[in-house]
Homo-oligomer: A and B are copies of this chain.
Amino acid sequence: MDKERMAQLRESFHRSKIMTLFKAVPTGMAKGYFEISVPKQDFMLRPAGMFNGSTMATLVDVSAGYVAASAKPSESYLTTVELKVNYLTPAVGEMLVARAQVVKNGRILMVVRSDIFTVSNGKETLVATSLVTLMRLALKAPDVQID
């Protein structure tokens, strides 16, 4: 990924209100790879203390959007077509890390996998996996999903 594109994505990430709310940090970025790290906050947890499914689904969606953007020229407009998450094990830990990679970089449609890990005492556990389809709309298109 060229430096300009990387700077654009980083800037977009820092402007994102939902990522700000999550105190999320983009901890890895390359063409076709995007990693997001998120510290534990109360609203992310189930009563029993593990991360809830909504928080993990949010990280899947956001990491998928950024990894797809990382593989396309800057003027692309991307929208999520569908998203599927499998929750694998109780998500116990101090931090969540989402690691997204492009499975298929089509001209119109893209398929992405994002894996979600918890970090607990420095040890990582895979807690969810996913498949996401995104669509690339025409340059600077108005915000249109699917239609």
B-facing residues in A81-113 (Cβ within 8 Å): 81-91, 103-104, 106-109, 111, 113
B18 and A54 form a contact (CB under 8 A): yes
Q: Does A131 contact B (CB under 8 A)?
A: yes
B90 and A111 form a contact (CB under 8 A): no
Q: Chain A 41-64, CB within 8 Å of chain B: the 1/0 string?
A: 011111111101111011011100
Q: Which DSSP category, helix, strand, loop or mixed, fits chain A's interface?
A: mixed
Q: Chain A 3-45, CB within 8 Å of chain B: the 1/0 string?
A: 0000000000001011011000000000000000000001111
Looking at chain A, what size class is its interface with the partner chain? Answer: 35 or more
> In the assembled complex, which residues on chain B have CB atoms less than 8 Å from the CB atom of A113?
129
A143 and B80 form a contact (CB under 8 A): no
Given A90-B147, A107-B147, answer yes or no on A133-B58 (Cβ-Cβ < 8 Å): no
B42 and A17 form a contact (CB under 8 A): yes
Looking at the complex, which one of B49, B58, B109, B147 makes contact with A81 (CB distance below 8 Å)?
A: B109
A52 and B133 form a contact (CB under 8 A): no
A90 and B143 form a contact (CB under 8 A): yes
Binding site for B on A (CB under 8 A): 15, 17-18, 20-21, 42-50, 52-55, 57-58, 60-62, 65, 79-91, 103-104, 106-109, 111, 113, 126, 129-131, 133, 135, 142-147
A to B CB contacts below 8 Å, 26 in the list: A46-B143, A48-B143, A49-B143, A54-B58, A81-B81, A81-B109, A83-B84, A83-B85, A83-B87, A84-B84, A84-B85, A84-B131, A86-B103, A86-B104, A87-B145, A88-B106, A88-B111, A88-B145, A89-B145, A90-B144, A90-B145, A90-B147, A103-B126, A104-B126, A104-B146, A109-B135
